[in-house]
Structure 1
Amino acid sequence: MNNNVQSATGLGSLYWDNQNKAPEEKSDELTQEDFFSLLTQQLSYQDPSKPADNDQMIAQMTNFTMAEGISKLNENFNSLAASMTSNSALQASTLVGKKALLESETIELYSGEVSKGTVLAKEPVDNLSLTIKDDKGQVVEVVDLGSQPAGAIRFEWDGLDKDGNPFPPGEYDIVAEGSINGEYSSLPMATFKNIESVNINGANGIIVNTKEGAVKLAEVAEISV
């Protein structure tokens, strides 16, 4: 009995919802049917001795058709923009948890993972080395990369000390130095940062958020798992 009562109540609710719906408001927009109705009225009241110019009638019809076409085109563009925004949000969500290659002076070390990065050299460099320091400023590792050609120089750090013991996970300072044309100097670097979240920001597109801050996806050099 209880099930029957609940079922009947549900149907009654649906019925009264339909009965109580407000009448649909009529649109003030001039449709093609309205236009031809007005055009017919115009022809019926015209002076037979001064009939309407065919060119004027054709111009009116053309203008109305163009206006209607532009209106529909705008609707289609709005629908396309909404669809693209939805697709962008879906694609952006897949970036969370991956790593973005960003210009940085630090490198992130994760338990059981090899940390990677890139030294950016505009010219060939000799005696290139990486100095890695902990949060207390103590040197924990020096990586010798030797002589390297100009370009993006990839490197890896296993995060292990000389005895093979892992350093604590966290963020470490890293400096790249080498000799270019006989002059010893530091070089810019890029390391992989964990993507914590992403935003869809209108004209700015997809924004990637890491510990380094927010950056446009278009400015990210590389994405890694």
Structure 2
Amino acid sequence: MAGINNVGQGSLSYLDQLKKLQDQSKTEESTGKQDLKQEDFLSLLTKQLSQQDPFKPVSNDQMIAQMASFATVDGIGKMNTQFESLNSSMTSNQALQASSLVGRDVLVPGAAGIKPADAGMAAMVKLPQSMDNVLVRVENEMGQLVRSFDVGAQPGGDARVEWDGKDDQGNPMPAGKYRVKASGLMEGESREFEVSTYANVNSVLLGKGDGNVLLNLAGFESPVRLAEVLEVGKA
């Protein structure tokens, strides 16, 4: 770049002045000043032209390169704005579609599920291969075993298991949170399998600016991301 002979600013180069403006912008964020815009670059270019050394003027190539840089910065800024708008629109559409899930059961990762009053609960067990027998155990919130039963031979893949909500003596268990565990013998050793449980959707909400759609599930303290839902139950 050509030198800038200015008594007030010394011999700061174009890049030095640009860095100075950027640093100043960062220190003034608390006052509401935004990041550098195309107008700031054009103002800097105009200042450079008015203060350039007449014996060493800026060449046409330098001018074109600087103008191309300005256009690139402005284009990136507009593209970011368009992406933000698109992301907001997609999130709103997802929330609208997810609203149809309210009142329905969804399958989410995790062995802990909610048993409603006068009913049982269902879970999905992921089996790495076909099994001769699969043992299911149901524990209460205290980790105490309330029911165990064998669901027999199962093919590999997802196997649905259902608990009728009663203990080993046939007594109905109260409503609340229960944990379902499943195990089986593989190559002569007992192995625990991954379990997912069903939960009822109470409401739908948007994430905090991160584009996520969240589901409030009955009995769950924290919402679950829509992307985590593995299966949607029948209406």
Matched, 1:117 2:126: no
Contact (CA 8 Å) 1:126, 1:180: kept in 2 or not? no
Question: RMSD between aligned alpha carbons?
Answer: 4.6
Structure possessing the higher radius of gyration over alpha carbons: 1
Alignment of 1:34-53 (within 5 A): none
Corresponding residue for 1:207? 214
**Equivalent AA in structure 1 for residue 174 of structure 2:** P
Does 154-163 or 185-194 show the bigger shift? 154-163
Q: Distance in 2 between the 1:138 and 1:176 partners?
A: 15
Segments of structure 2 that go 5 or more residues without pairing to the other structure are: 1-78
Secondary structure of 2:117's aligned partner:
coil
Give, in angstroms, the shift of residue 83 of structure 1. 5.2
Q: In the TM superposition, what is the alpha-carbon distance from 1:151 to its structure 2 partner?
A: 0.4
How far 1:153 sits from its partner (Å)?
Answer: 0.7
In structure 2, what is the Cα distance between the partners aligned to 1:102 and 1:157? Answer: 17
Q: Contact conserved, 1:204 with 1:216, CA < 8 A, in 2?
A: no
Show structure 1 runs of 5+ residues with no match: 1-72
> TM-score, normalised on structure 1?
0.57
Equivalent residue number for residue 217 of structure 1: 226
Query: d(CA) in 2 for partners of 1:152 and 1:91?
Result: 26
Aligned length: 184
Instruction: Note if contact 2:91-2:213 (Cα within 8 Å) is conserved in structure 1.
Output: no
Sequence identity of aligned pairs in percent? 38
Q: 2:161 matched to which residue of 1? A: 155
- SS of 1:195 mapped into structure 2: strand
Residue pair 2:123, 2:180 contacting (<8 A) in 1 also = no
Taking the aligned partners of 1:103 and 1:199, their CA distance within structure 2 comes to 19
Task: Show the counterpart of 1:141.
Answer: 147
In terms of fraction of residues, the more strand-rich structure is: 1
Superposition TM-score, scaled by structure 2 size? 0.55
CA contact (8 A) 1:124 1:180 kept: no
- Structure 1's 166 and 76: CA in aligned 2 closer, same or farther, altered over 3 A? same
